[in-house]
């Protein structure tokens, strides 16, 4: 059964081909994937490698956890299942920040809105 590994602290220049080549030294790589930003296409500095067996995955962890790749020490361990994360609030509105706030004089910062009693 295939085992998926998390690979962190990758140099941003690392390609999927390089990841597959590197982990191929530990055994048969089913799939290698570098995670990229969906807008810029740049690497996020981590990825996943799926090894064909649990023994090969363990060997890869032993070989490459702490391995120096491009001046960075890799972090390699067995991948955990993705957990449900709470939704994030975007933009202004209630509790979201943004907008004008009242100052201690009852106004809205440097905007007087026609009031001359400042």
Predicted pLDDT of residue 109: 57
Give the mean pLDDT of 82-109: 65
Over residues 19-37, the mean pLDDT reads 97
**Domain ranges in the chain?**
3-76
Residue 108's pLDDT band, with cuts at 50, 70 and 90, is low
- The answer to whether residue 99 scores a pLDDT higher than 80 is no
What local confidence, expressed as pLDDT, does residue 41 receive?
94
User: CATH class for domain 3-76?
Assistant: alpha beta
HSE-CB of 113 using CA atoms within 13 angstroms? 6
**pLDDT digits 0-9 by tens, 77-94:** 999 988 888 888 776 555
Q: pTM for this one?
A: 0.71
């Amino acid at each position: 059964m295939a085992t998926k590994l998390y690979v962190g602290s990758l140099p941003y220049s690392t390609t999927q081909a390089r990841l597959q080549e590197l982990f191929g030294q530990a055994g048969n790589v089913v799939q290698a994937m570098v995670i990229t930003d969906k807008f810029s296409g740049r690497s996020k500095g981590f990825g996943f490698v799926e090894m064909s067996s649990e023994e090969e995955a363990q060997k890869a962890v032993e070989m490459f956890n702490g391995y120096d790749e491009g001046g960075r020490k890799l972090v390699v361990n067995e991948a955990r299942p993705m957990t449900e994360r709470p939704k994030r609030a975007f933009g202004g509105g209630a509790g979201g920040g943004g907008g004008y706030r009242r100052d201690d004089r009852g106004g809205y910062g440097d905007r007087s809105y026609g009031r001359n009693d400042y």
